[in-house]
């Protein structure tokens, strides 16, 4: 059933293009599904024409957009090589690859986004295991009037911890100590279903040990983050801002209990406040800004827009600031050149979303109906049509199925990190896209979900939902075992 539906979806788009010259949201039925006896037209092609139909194996998140022209393939491969590049410390004979750190979380983008997929929690605390692909964000409340004004005007998202910066760096170049170690402890939290079944959640608590540069500020706020999957990011960027604003309902004017709102963040290229859409709290407005921040903060690499060759080193880490750096004239006096960042941008924009699997199976359709009836689509918006973009033709005018509204929602005290970021409160999180979620095990060898990987499977992830999602959670708790199984089968088909 899958392939004919995909062909129909492709032919429909081609016909509309021939008749109208472009495809808009008006050309598609974007209303919620009303019947659940068959897959919707085009639903299998989650990423529109960018969708790939390659094998659903460990490489399922690493394929280029299927509609990419042949002469763009080289740029994709070059971007891939930079994404996977292992950076080394300075000085080095490989001047195109030096500048690591001096303090860092990973030596490459791929070390966190393994196989372009999802990060994971450490199996044990240090020194039995490291926290690669997971780290702690750090910040403190405003200390000055100037900081209060900057936060209020969304010129900055947080105030970094004064000694350790914006995140804990648990690796360092030879001869320097890492900043410290993240320690995680878990407490069992049982949840009972109406039918008598029980699921035991694990409630995490985070601390920092072995601090090497002095004590943390007494009001330090911690926020754990695992690396999210990289697929479909260019498509998310191509959703019109107006579509997001239309979905936003900050005052819950329709009375459905869901009050999604946009994060308002600083766009460094436009020098103005815009809508955020990337990151766990939608703290970045563009993929380019997100990439630059990761190069600088996670790896310690200077870029055209993040010019500090010492990454997240602070003024109180004098030894860090005295280390050699990799800024070279050949790279535009940066450790990663503008060309490198452009290639990485092209690569991260064009990682294809895999096709749906088993979308027409009765059990999957039954699970989809439950997903709708429980109210999950109030945040996990099924579909959009991307806007017309001549500069990114692959992502232009595509019917896509991310199952996200990219808005902030209050998820309750259970998931709260109590750390604001721009306009996002300590209990608000951006709705994560669900496309590809069923391939997490195949790609990354685990099923750890949510911002800190606390959920060990999809049902645990659902049961951590609170706040605006509490009514939907209660619907799941009341389901029969068969209904719960069907709901998970639907999610695993995405």
Mean pLDDT per block of 10 residues along the chain (494 residues) reads 37 39 65 93 96 97 97 97 96 88 97 97 92 95 98 98 98 96 98 98 98 97 98 98 96 93 97 97 98 97 93 94 90 93 98 98 98 97 95 95 98 98 98 98 98 98 98 98 98 98
> Hey, what domains does the chain have and what are their CATH numbers?
2-73+350-493 (1.10.760)
Q: Residue 397: helix, strand or coil by DSSP? A: coil
pLDDT of residue 32: 87
CA 263, 184, 193, 483 torsion-angle sign: positive
Closest alpha carbon to 435 in 212, 233, 223: 233
Beta strands in 290-443 (DSSP E): 384-385, 399-400, 408-410, 428-430
**Which DSSP string corresponds to 246-268?**
HH--TT-TT-SS---B--EEEET
Q: Residue 409: helix, strand or coil by DSSP? A: strand
Q: Residue 390: helix, strand or coil by DSSP? A: coil
* CB burial readout 9-20, b (16+ within 10 A) else e: bbebbeebeeee
Closest alpha carbon to 89 in 79, 78, 97, 77: 97
Task: Kindly report the pTM of this predicted structure.
Answer: 0.93
pLDDT of residue 20: 39
Q: Residue 6: helix, strand or coil by DSSP? A: helix
Return all residues near 342 (Cβ < 8 A) that are at least 6 apart.
none
Contact between 355 and 42 under an 8 Å Cβ cutoff? The reply is no
pLDDT of residue 23: 56
Question: Which residue matches tokens 């392939």?
Answer: 3
Return all residues near 155 (Cβ < 8 A) that are at least 6 apart.
266, 273
Q: Exposed (0-12), middle (13-18) or buried (19+): which is 416, by Cβ within 10 Å?
A: middle
Return all residues near 414 (Cβ < 8 A) that are at least 6 apart.
203, 464, 466
Contact between 165 and 313 under an 8 Å Cβ cutoff? The reply is yes
Contact between 98 and 92 under an 8 Å Cβ cutoff? The reply is yes
């Amino acid at each position: 059933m899958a392939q004919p539906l995909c062909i129909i979806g492709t032919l429909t788009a081609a016909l509309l293009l021939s008749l109208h010259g472009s495809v808009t949201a008006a050309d598609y039925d974007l209303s919620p599904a009303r019947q659940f006896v068959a897959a919707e037209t085009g639903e299998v092609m989650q990423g529109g024409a960018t969708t790939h139909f390659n094998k659903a194996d460990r490489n399922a998140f690493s394929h280029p957009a299927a509609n990419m022209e042949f002469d763009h393939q080289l740029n994709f491969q070059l971007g891939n090589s930079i994404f996977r590049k292992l950076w080394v410390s300075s000085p080095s004979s490989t001047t195109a690859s030096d500048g690591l750190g001096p303090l860092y979380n990973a030596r490459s983008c791929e070390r966190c986004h393994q196989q372009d997929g999802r990060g994971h929690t450490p199996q044990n605390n240090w020194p039995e295991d490291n926290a690669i692909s997971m780290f702690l964000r750090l910040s403190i409340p405003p200390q000055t009037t100037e900081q209060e004004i900057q936060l209020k005007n969304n010129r900055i998202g947080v105030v970094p911890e004064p000694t350790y910066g914006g995140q804990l760096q648990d690796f360092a170049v030879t001869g320097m100590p890492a900043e410290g170690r993240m320690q995680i402890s878990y407490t069992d939290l049982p949840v009972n279903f109406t039918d008598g079944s029980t699921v035991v959640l694990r409630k995490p608590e985070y601390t920092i040990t072995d601090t090497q540069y002095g004590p943390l500020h007494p009001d330090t706020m911690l926020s754990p983050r695992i690396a999210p999957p990289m697929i479909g990011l260019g498509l998310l960027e191509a959703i019109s801002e107006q579509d997001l604003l239309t979905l936003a309902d900050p005052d819950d004017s329709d009375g459905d209990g869901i009050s999604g709102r946009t994060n308002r963040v600083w766009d460094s290229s436009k020098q103005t406040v815009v809508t955020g859409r990337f990151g766990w709290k939608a703290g970045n407005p563009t993929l380019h800004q997100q990439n630059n921040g990761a190069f600088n903060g996670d790896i310690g690499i200077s870029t055209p827009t993040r010019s500090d060759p010492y990454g997240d080193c602070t003024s109180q880490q004098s030894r860090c600031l005295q280390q050699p750096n990799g800024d070279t004239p050949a790279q535009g006096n940066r450790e990663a050149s503008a060309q490198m960042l452009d290639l990485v941008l092209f690569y991260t924009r064009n990682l294809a979303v895999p096709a749906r699997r088993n979308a027409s199976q009765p059990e999957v359709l039954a699970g989809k109906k439950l997903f709708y009836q429980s109210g999950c689509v109030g945040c996990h918006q099924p579909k959009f049509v991307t806007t017309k973009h001549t500069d990114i033709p692959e992502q232009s005018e595509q019917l896509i199925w991310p199952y996200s509204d990219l808005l902030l929602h209050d998820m309750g005290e259970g998931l709260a990190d109590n750390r604001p970021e721009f306009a996002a409160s300590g209990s608000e999180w951006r709705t994560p896209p669900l496309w590809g979620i069923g391939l997490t095990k195949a790609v990354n060898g685990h099923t750890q979900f949510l911002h800190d990987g606390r959920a060990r499977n999809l049902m645990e992830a659902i049961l951590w939902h609170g706040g605006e999602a509490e009514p939907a959670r209660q619907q799941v708790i009341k389901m029969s075992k068969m209904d719960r199984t069907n709901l998970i089968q639907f999610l695993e088909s995405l």
